[in-house]
Amino acid sequence: MLKKNDIAETEIVDLSHEGAGVAKIDGLVFFVDNALPGEKILMRVLKVKKNIGYGKVEKYLTKSPYRNEDLDTAYLRSGIADLGHLAYSEQLRFKRKQVADNLYKTAGIADIEVAETLGMENPVAYRNKAQIPVRRVNGELQTGFFRKNSHDLMPIDDFYIQDKEIDKLINFMRDLLRRFDIKPYDETEQTGLIRHLVVRRGHYTGQMMLVLVTTRPKIFLIEQMIEKIIEAFPNVKSIIQNINDKNTNAIFGSEFRTLYGSDTIEDTMLGNRFAISAQSFYQVNTVMAEKLYQTAIDFSELTADDVIIDAFSGIGTIGQSFAKQVKAVYGVEVVDSAVRDAEQNAALNGITNAHYVADSAENAMAKWSKESIQPDVILVDPPRKGLTENFIKASSAMQPKKITYISCNPATMARDIKLYAELGYKLKKVQPVDLFPQTHHVECVALLVKA
């Protein structure tokens, strides 16, 4: 029986859904970081549990032809790019397999062809948002990323998958905070002022927002700092302070203050303009979000007479991208501020047939049913945990012709599709879309049609 620190020769036979290499030894499944299918390795055992174990590569005996040798391993150790060691064409194949495997294992569906994953032409430097911790490392203020499963900061200059202008602003801020002798947050001691830097950038507009997350309201010499930031980065249109004095992993506290410029920045998606606040949910990969939303629109085959329910409507990005093609869009979102943003965005785009409510989707649909609102398509874009059983029953009860499901988690999507099938909705097609290149995450669009 293998135990900690033993060395075993083994072959990697698969990848886990999180991108770790999978090896099988003596009836145990081992997960090994930075190991790819087909590779023979000497593995050091790190931990053994009842049926599974964890190992690390001690030595590569043979390497995969699909290994990306150029990747800095810091990106693997921090989880920034946990699939970055795999050639991009293989990443796309892996994601398609994830979707197909989940549909088969969970929903018993094998007769629907999962389309090839839609990928990016240039699958790096795509993220339009960064949330970067600020900590002291070896006596000096640093920005970077936490090592996986820890709160040890790894200093990083180039974040690989982030917009390069965002990287430049983060590095500039690191140097500026050092110059102004601003104290970084210390989680253990609960001391210091600056916890995080959050940066957003409009992909098409280039407008930038900088959020300084601090433990208390007063920032010494903030006006002089703002002057330096604007001088170096004229595209910064919004500087916001967020105050988070709690001992928590949550990045933001509840109080936001605009220190410079406006409360929002603007960007466009599928031809519409959107105002984006510090808290807005806005897809981090604009280029691929447009492909994702366009796929959902194409799957829905919308007509001018259609009534659409946009459940989980956020700031209105998807519903407003097709509102002008249909009769009406009814959006529901549980976050009040997002509903206000969606209403503002509708006004910004001259959209008069999109109606938004702040409520749970189940409640909103029950009310709309009473008002005899009959949707042709219900569009869902839930968080990772997927849909609740109540939602699935409530949406089926409205008897739409189609349900278009945008998913960021193929496991919960497959579970939900199985329940929809029991209620008379059959899966017709599935399209994976790579919104998060170099990582194990996969989005996809599924079309369900009333049988």
Closest C-alpha among 408, 361, 407, 406 to residue 388: 361
Beta strand 307-311 with 328-333 is: parallel
Q: Which residues contact 85 (CB under 8 A, 6 or more apart)?
A: 34, 36, 67, 68, 71, 76
DSSP β-ladder status, 265-269 and 255-261 = unpaired
* Exposed / middle / buried, residue 329 (Cβ in 10 Å: 0-12, 13-18, 19+): buried
End-to-end Cα spacing for the chain: 53
Burial 176-201 (b: 16+ CB within 10 A, else e): ebeeeebebbeeeeeebbbbbbbbbb
Vertex 336 angle, CA 333 and 337, to 5°: 110
Written as six digits, the tokens of 266 are 């603007």
For residue 444, indicate whether it is catalytic: no
Extended beta strands in 104-187, E state: 129-137, 140-146, 153-155
Choosing from 45, 408, 414, 417, the catalytic residue is 408
Q: Catalogue the active-site residues.
A: 408
